[in-house]
Amino acid sequence: MEKYVRVQKIGEGSFGKAILVKSIEDGRQYVIKEINISSMSSKEREESRREVAVLANMKHPNIVQYRDSFEENGSLYIVMDYCEGGDLFKRINAQKGVLFQEDQILDWFVQICLALKHVHDRKILHRDIKSQNIFLTKDGTIQLGDFGIARVLNSTVELVRTCIGTPYYLSPEICENKPYNNKSDIWALGCVLYEMCTLKHAFEAGNMKNLVLKIISGSFPPVSLHYSYDLRSLLSQLFKRNPRDRPSVNSILEKGFIAKRIEKFLSPQLIAEEFCLKTFSRFGAQPIPAKRPGSGQSLASVVSAPKITKPAAKYGVPLTYKKYGDKKLHEKKPLQKHKQAHQSPVKKVNPGEERRKLFEEPARKRRLELNEKEKKQKDQISLMKAEQMKRQEKERLEKINRAREQGWRNVLSAGGSGEMKEPVSLEEDPEPQMGMTALADTLTSAW
Ligand code: ADP
Ligand code: MG
């Protein structure tokens, strides 16, 4: 902290303070997030350090830039840029009921999407998307902040924070105690878009029970017809009850009315970088093996094998062969047999030609087989890679979910409403774990 002079405390979240500071080194203002980690286990602390290292590597014009982090007296300090324009929540409230122009909403929304794309493309979830974590810089650029901080904290704290902090962005799957996933971020993105369109929260209620019921039923007051059909239809897609039915951030950015705004905010070079990575992460940059296992033949030798352009002509089959019917062309019999069957028996057979065919035909077959084999191997490798990634992600989600489950128990017992009524499965079952009313009853005193 000796490198910074404290200017003022600008806020206090449920997990720590946000302090505005001035750097002694460069004289610029920064925000420092102070997170108490003294109650964490050493393993959790280690994990937090790793998470912070990931955050430090994020660099995007629409993400609040993380600058530094350090630990002092049992607290973790994360230094980030100060956004002078304040947060979107305050900006929305400053409207005093006057709706924003659609152009303004979409310009902001596309920037939020670009930030979220950067995060999701790197297989990181934000976990705390809300208008209070979206900032405006001095020149009006949108920046997504606080991402990953939720991950720095353990899931239990995160859940308690959601329950006592801002529950408006809870997605149906979280209400139903299912794992948080990238589509839960998309739900929260929908909540922010709705807020920009109506200046209100999509899901509001006087208590937790009614809020959960509203979220689960997915009913929200319609937005003004003054906004385009595209915008209203996008909102209903973001609020799909089933996470799988919600679009990914990449498919949102592919929508014409959103896509056309991207170049306003990203330079051509950044567009190339950001939109290239998607292809990379999806297909993986796989090295081509120099030798195919077991074959003893190098790939290069197969690639450089002479190309047969007109196989029929090469093997002496008349090119007018088709007149005997397509079916015959597809029969598995060797071409030579067809030739014999349809050619005049008096025609002399050239023995040299015959010998050449005898060698070429099996070689050609071998090449085809090898190509086929190689294609199969490649497919298998990609499949295995995809499965491995899926398995790892599932394990990670299950771990989070276990902690989350514990979190619900803590919250509920702290609220005096007793134990969960049914055991919670960790499977990614799309069906609710509890009946809606049972869950809502359980949550009544957790508000
Ligand atoms: P919360 O749990 O509500 O996200 P935070 O500690 O993140 O609490 O933020 C507290 C306040 O500090 C918020 O009002 C937010 O607007 C402000 N704030 C946080 N980070 C920044 C930042 N980088 N630039 C400007 N204001 C910030
Ligand atoms: Mg915040």
Q: What does the DSSP assignment read for 207-230?
A: SHHHHHHHHHHT--PPPPTTS-HH
State the distance from the centre of ligand 2 to the C-alpha of 437, rounded, in angstroms. Answer: 32
Give the CA radius of gyration of the chain: 30
- The residue type at 27: G
Round to whole Å and give the CA distance between 347 and 363: 27
> Could you tell me the distance, in angstroms and rounded to a whole number, from the CA of residue 11 to the centre of ligand 2?
9
pLDDT at 20: 97
Mutate to test the pocket of ligand 1, among 146, 161, 168, 169 (most ligand atoms within 8 A of CB): 146
**Complete domains list, the chain, with CATH:** 4-81 (3.30.200.20), 88-267+385-401+442-446 (1.10.510.10)
Kindly give the number of the ligand 1 atom that is closest to the alpha carbon of 81: 23
The residue whose CA is least distant from atom 13 of ligand 1 is 11
Measured in Å, residue 11 CA sits from the centre of ligand 1 at: 6
Q: What's the pLDDT score for residue 289?
A: 30
Q: What is the 8-class DSSP label of residue 323?
A: G
State the Cα–Cα distance between residues 343 and 347, nearest whole angstrom. 8
Instruction: Measure 370 CA to ligand 2 centroid, in angstroms.
Output: 57
Q: What is the pLDDT of residue 318?
A: 33
Residue 38 carries which side chain, given as an amino acid letter? S
Q: How far is the CA of 89 from the centre of ligand 2 (A)?
A: 11
Q: Nearest residue CA, atom 23 of ligand 1? A: 82
pLDDT for the residue numbered 412: 38
Pocket of ligand 1 from Cβ distances under 6 Å: 10-11, 13-14, 18, 31, 64, 80, 82-83, 87, 132-133, 135, 145-146
Cβ neighbors of 401 (< 8 A, separation 6 or more) are 177, 178, 179, 180, 426
Q: 3-state class of 34 per DSSP?
A: strand
- What pLDDT is attached to residue 113? 98
Residue 326 has a pLDDT of 38
pLDDT, one tens digit for every residue, the chain (447 residues): 889 999 999 988 666 789 999 999 999 999 999 988 888 888 888 877 877 888 888 999 999 999 999 999 989 999 999 999 999 999 999 999 999 999 999 999 999 999 999 999 988 888 889 999 999 999 999 999 986 565 655 555 545 555 545 789 999 999 998 888 999 999 999 999 999 999 999 999 999 999 999 999 988 999 999 999 999 999 999 999 999 999 999 999 999 999 999 999 999 999 999 998 554 443 333 322 333 333 333 322 322 333 323 333 332 333 333 333 333 334 344 444 444 444 444 444 565 666 566 667 777 787 888 888 888 888 777 787 777 777 776 676 566 555 544 544 443 343 333 222 332 222 233 333 333 334 444 443 333
The atom number, within ligand 1, closest to the CA of 87 reads 16
Q: What is the pLDDT of residue 359?
A: 62
The preferred substitution site among 28, 126, 132, 138 for testing ligand 1, maximizing ligand atoms within 8 Å of CB, is 132
Measured from the Cα of 16, ligand 1's closest atom is: 6
- Known catalytic residue at 26: no
Closest CA to 2 of 23, 31, 20: 23
Q: pTM for the complete prediction?
A: 0.65
CA distance 313 to 311: 6
Which ligand neighbours the alpha carbon of 166 most closely? 1
Q: Edge-to-edge strands of the sheet including 66-72?
A: 4-12, 16-23, 29-36, 75-81, 66-72
What tokens does 164 get?
A: 């006592």
Residue with the smallest CA separation from ligand 1 atom 16 is 87
pLDDT at 425: 29
- At residue 366, the pLDDT reads 78
Mutate to test the pocket of ligand 1, among 31, 80, 131, 149 (most ligand atoms within 8 A of CB): 31
Q: Which ligand is nearest to the CA of 165?
A: 1
* Among protein residues, the one whose CA lies closest to atom 25 of ligand 1: 83
Question: What is the CA(25)–ligand 1 centre distance, in A?
Answer: 23
Residue to mutate (ligand 1; options 7, 8, 10, 168; most atoms within 8 A of CB) = 10
Q: How far apart are the C-alpha atoms of 446 and 444, rounded to whole Å?
A: 6
- Three-state DSSP at 148 gives coil
Give me the residues paired with residue 87 across strands.
Answer: 135
DSSP 408-421: HHHHHHHTT--S-S
Look at ligand 1, atom 10, and give the residue with the nearest C-alpha. 11
Q: How far apart are CA 10 and CA 14, in angstroms?
A: 13
Please tell me the number of the ligand nearest to residue 33's CA: 1
Query: pLDDT value at position 354?
Result: 63
> For residue 387, what pLDDT is reported?
76
Q: Which of 87, 128, 146, 185 is catalytic?
A: 128
Atom of ligand 1 nearest to the CA of 18: 6
